[in-house]
Amino acid sequence: MTTPVQTSTALSDVRYEIRGKLANRALELERRGYEIVSLNIGNPGAFGFRTPETMRLAMIENLQNSEGYCHQKGIFPAREAVVMQQQDRGIPGVNVEHVFIGNGVSELIDITLRGLLNSGDEVLVPSPDYPLWTAGVTLNQGKPVHYPCPPETGHEPDLEALASLINARTRAIVVINPNNPTGAVYSQATLEAIVRLAEQHDLVLFSDEIYDDMIYDDATFVPLATLVDDGVCVTFSGLSKVYRACGYRVGWAIVSGNIDHAQDYLNALELLASLRLCSNVPAQWAVQTALGGYQSIHELVRPGGRLYETRRAVIENVAASRFLQMVKPNGSMYAFVGVDPGVLPDFDDNLFALDLLEQKHVLVAPGVSFNVNYSNYFRITLLPDVTTITAVFNKIDEVLQAYAEQ
């Protein structure tokens, strides 16, 4: 064979730099014996966090029930547990037929977009975003249109800009709350305004709430579906983050709101769910135990807890640096850290991330990975302990000081 294999042109606009060239370079350095502090991915297991034991036991005890395919939407106990959680949160009219269990939220993002979009349809995606949303829209023939969530608004959506981007081709609005990468937790007023816009223009709401119980201090998480009157909302969550079970690959999507107007869409989602047969069965048995059991996440996000104290250390280290600035993260497991352009006007986040990796063996995600039009930010995870994160910021300042001296 002399002709190179041609790849799909659909991939030309798809990026996922969180696991891209920098991460591959980090692997090369590790193979050479260097210890890399990997802050580019929110992977709790890599930092010593354990999935609650009760969830592991629930899987073990049900292994005999896990060897065959299950229903394409998921096992009944898992879907019922999700329904009960939604009802406890004040979301009416949801039943197990409206719940889809997937191999993580990632698979469900793809399925729900595929069931909605035709070629050229537009989806409003936040900027910065979790880049899977932008990639998912693109791969499903749509056009991602980014609405700004700038530092000046505390990383909450610029509602005027969002409204201005809606046109006849717009089909949906994506909301990520609590937010990845910024850690913003949106106010009820902001969420209500987005819901009214969606209902006014007959847009589907996609609410990514995978960090729903991971909030700090006096921040309040408001489930978007509780505010929907006449629209259709698809809510996403799962076991990966709050329950520290990324490897289980269990997520769920709940369709709520005006279900009468969503029957064709529900049928499309069931068809797509059927085509992949079913999601991972053994780990689904952990869902009922997770949602109905003791919520250990609360210990981690309150004062004295591991995530809370690392977040505090990040805030203090940013404040102590003459180079750095940041909107305090109120949720999720990330901080979106900026470099003051008044101090380093020529700062380039990609170059910085590479220099930090090569010189200090610390891996971060450049801000441009999250579909922003500025290049002076980077994202880190809050998963390391305080000692590690303090050492990381010392190394960051050393690289930035070297830039300043040049």
* pLDDT in single tens digits along all 406 residues of the chain: 678 888 788 887 777 776 778 889 999 999 999 999 999 989 999 999 999 999 999 999 999 999 999 999 999 999 999 999 999 999 988 999 999 999 999 999 999 999 999 999 999 999 999 999 999 999 999 999 999 999 999 999 999 999 999 999 999 999 999 999 999 999 999 999 999 999 999 999 999 999 999 999 999 999 999 999 999 999 999 999 999 999 999 999 999 999 999 999 999 999 999 999 999 999 999 999 999 999 999 999 999 999 999 999 999 999 999 999 999 999 999 999 999 999 999 999 999 999 999 999 999 999 999 999 999 999 999 999 999 999 999 999 999 999 999 8
* DSSP-H helix ranges across 256-370: 263-275, 281-292, 297-301, 306-320, 349-360
Single out the residue of 179, 182, 180, 181 nearest to residue 191, CA to CA.
179
**What pLDDT, on the 0 to 100 scale, is given for residue 216?**
98
Given a contact cutoff of 8 angstroms between Cβ atoms, the answer to whether 150 and 158 are in contact is: yes
Single out the residue of 183, 180, 175, 176 nearest to residue 219, CA to CA.
183
Token look-up 């990026």 returns 15
Rounded distance between C-alpha atoms, residue 186 and residue 196, angstroms: 15
**What pLDDT, on the 0 to 100 scale, is given for residue 12?**
76
- The arrangement of secondary structure in 9-50+299-405, i.e. its CATH architecture, is Alpha-Beta Complex (3.90)
In the chain, the amino acid numbered 75 is I
* DSSP-H helix ranges across 115-214: 131-139, 159-164, 188-200
Beta bridge partners of 232: 257
pLDDT in tens, 97-108: 999 999 999 999
**What pLDDT, on the 0 to 100 scale, is given for residue 18?**
66
Domain with CATH 3.40.640.10 in the chain: 53-292
Strands, E assignment, 49-155: 99-102, 122-127, 143-148
Residue 49: CB atoms within 10 A of its CB come to 17
Q: Are strands 377-381 and 334-339 parallel, antiparallel or unpaired?
A: antiparallel
- The DSSP element (H or E) to which 393 belongs, if any, is helix 386-405
Q: What is residue 266's DSSP assignment? A: H
Give the distance from CA 354 to its chain's centroid. 24
Taking CA 208 as the corner, what is the angle to CA 207 and CA 213, rounded to the nearest 5 degrees?
A: 110
Strands, E assignment, 105-225: 122-127, 143-148, 170-176, 204-208
For residue 87, give every residue at least 6 positions away whose Cβ sits within 8 Å of its Cβ, in sequence order, or none: 94
For residue 142, give every residue at least 6 positions away whose Cβ sits within 8 Å of its Cβ, in sequence order, or none: 113, 117, 119, 120, 121, 122, 123, 171
For residue 308, give every residue at least 6 positions away whose Cβ sits within 8 Å of its Cβ, in sequence order, or none: 216, 300, 301, 302
CA distances to 102, 107, 146, 214, 342 from 187, rounded to whole Å, are 29, 28, 20, 15, 30
Helix axes of 306-320 and 386-405: crossing angle, nearest 10 degrees: 20
CA distances to 18, 154, 199, 223 from 138, rounded to whole Å, are 18, 28, 24, 27
- The arrangement of secondary structure in 53-292, i.e. its CATH architecture, is 3-Layer(aba) Sandwich (3.40)
Long-range CB pairs of 160-163 (<8 Å, 24+ gap) are 162/124, 162/194, 162/197, 163/197
**What pLDDT, on the 0 to 100 scale, is given for residue 1?**
60
